[in-house]
Amino acid sequence: MEAIRAEIQRMVAKTAEPSEWQQIRDSVERKKPKCRNCDDLGFAPDADGVYHPCPCRHTTISQRRQTELEQYSGLSAEELTFRLDGVELGKHGRDSTEYRRAIDAARRLLVNNGWLTLTGPYGVGKTYMMCAIVNEGMLLKKACLYIEWGELLGRFKETFDAESQARYDVVFQKVSDADVLAIDELDPSRYKVTDWTEGELSRLLSYRYRFKAERATAIATNNYDELPEFLSSRMEDGRDDVVHLAGEDVRPGLRR
């Protein structure tokens, strides 16, 4: 391939004007294969002349899959950097024991599936941990989704708009079938409680509970005592973890 390209360049150089030659050279350079092993064909021969998928093909597929997972995750560019190892311990009045317990529970969740509930006041790091769970799940090539409960209710409601192109069953399936689902801000005080909202909450989380052996569900709430009894009963399943995080609200001290 390199020899053919060099010969074409030599022949063109004899007849082309300098400006024409520059255009031709630029065109050739743009088409220059990135992989010398397979010339971007995706397959390369072994010593016996038998063709096999080139390693670059696996790399490209892996990169494409990672991009798809990140787009599906619902995380912002900043949130995509959050990791469980980045949780600050022993600062801002935090109980290191409980935070380590939460981190260990999160890692078990990603391996064993089931449920994890994080409770505690505003600003103690629940959202950070929820995003970190999603990120670490993506490292395991799992389809992970982070969403606030109020936002999810809004998406459900949009499907009832006659002009909306979104379908309720598609939205519901995206959430219900995620390998790892992280629901943040599940607080009745933050949204109007109606028979409809209670029904949606029950339908989604009852489904996730039924298939807990196959999927991981993480829930964060600021007001655990306000949750419906059907939900708190499932959260307190002895096979799963409920971790209370306490400390100072770190948000007022954040700086650019």
Report the C-alpha gap between 44 and 36 in whole angstroms: 10
Q: Which 8-state DSSP code applies to residue 16?
A: S
Query: Do the domain assignments include residue 14?
Result: no
Say how many residues make up the chain.
Answer: 256
Query: Do the domain assignments include residue 104?
Result: yes
Query: Do the domain assignments include residue 3?
Result: no
Q: Do 182 and 239 lie in a common domain?
A: yes
Q: Check if the beta carbon of residue 39 is closer than 8 Å to that of residue 5.
A: no
> 89: closest CA among 107, 106, 101, 81?
101
Query: Per residue of the chain (256 residues), what is the pLDDT tens digit?
Result: 565 556 555 655 555 455 555 564 555 455 566 787 777 777 778 888 777 777 776 666 678 888 999 999 999 999 999 999 999 887 878 888 999 999 999 999 999 999 999 999 999 999 999 999 999 999 999 999 999 999 999 999 999 988 888 899 999 999 999 999 999 999 987 878 889 989 999 999 999 999 999 999 999 999 999 899 999 999 999 999 999 999 888 888 777 7
Domain edge (last residue) among 16, 51, 73: 73
Q: Which domain holds residue 62?
A: 40-73
Query: Do the domain assignments include residue 53?
Result: yes
Query: Do the domain assignments include residue 13?
Result: no
Q: Do 220 and 201 lie in a common domain?
A: yes
CATH code, 119: 3.40.50.300
Q: Do 54 and 119 lie in a common domain?
A: no
Query: Do the domain assignments include residue 34?
Result: no
Number of domains in the chain: 2
